[in-house]
Amino acid sequence: MTIEQRKELRLIPHDHTTVVLRPHFAKLGNLIDINKGGLSFQYIANEGKAEVSTHLDLFTNNSEFYLPSLPCKVAYDIGLPRNNTTLASLEYRRCGLEFGEFTQEQAARLELYLEKHTAGTV
């Protein structure tokens, strides 16, 4: 049995949203869920696991929203089961990030994203 550690419900993005880990932009993937405390995203591994402590950029693919350089640390980074497709040789991973301390502007922008670009909970 796993004990849920999140203090808030996870919200599902209704706009396709991309997460990019800084500083080298080595990890780029699709947002799965998000709340004020953190997020999870799925990516194709090309150089192993994500760095332990980092920053991320968050943007919608329709260019309506961009939030750069949010402080975060990796909570988990796990491999996902492979399926029998033509892309089966690729390694898919799911990474959970815990947000660090925001500036007032970052906190306001994240709140705007949660209000305008999410729909429903996990």
In this predicted structure, the answer to whether residue 56 has a pLDDT above a threshold of 90 is: yes
107 in a domain, yes or no?
yes
CB atoms within 10 A of CB 119: 9
Q: Which two tokens stand for residue 96?
A: 């959970």
In this predicted structure, the answer to whether residue 64 has a pLDDT above a threshold of 70 is: yes
Residue % of the chain over a pLDDT of 70 = 85
For residue 40, the enclosing domain spans 11-81+88-115
Tell me what pLDDT residue 2 has. Answer: 44
| Residue 49: band (very low, low, confident or very high) from pLDDT cuts 50, 70, 90 | low
64 in a domain, yes or no?
yes
5 in a domain, yes or no?
no
Tell me what pLDDT residue 85 has. Answer: 62
58 in a domain, yes or no?
yes
Tell me what pLDDT residue 23 has. Answer: 79
CB atoms within 10 A of CB 40: 18
Is residue 69 within 8 Å of residue 57, measured between CB atoms?
yes
For residues 12 and 84, the model is more confident at: 12
In this predicted structure, the answer to whether residue 4 has a pLDDT above a threshold of 80 is: no
24 in a domain, yes or no?
yes
d(CA 54, CA 36): 17
Residue 28 burial (CB < 10 Å; 0-12/13-18/19+)?
middle
In this predicted structure, the answer to whether residue 107 has a pLDDT above a threshold of 90 is: yes
106 in a domain, yes or no?
yes
Tell me what pLDDT residue 50 has. Answer: 63
The domain tally of the chain equals 1
For residues 36 and 5, the model is more confident at: 36
36 in a domain, yes or no?
yes
6 in a domain, yes or no?
no
Q: Which two tokens stand for residue 23?
A: 């500083």
Give me the CATH number covering residue 50: 2.40.10.220
| Residue 47: band (very low, low, confident or very high) from pLDDT cuts 50, 70, 90 | low
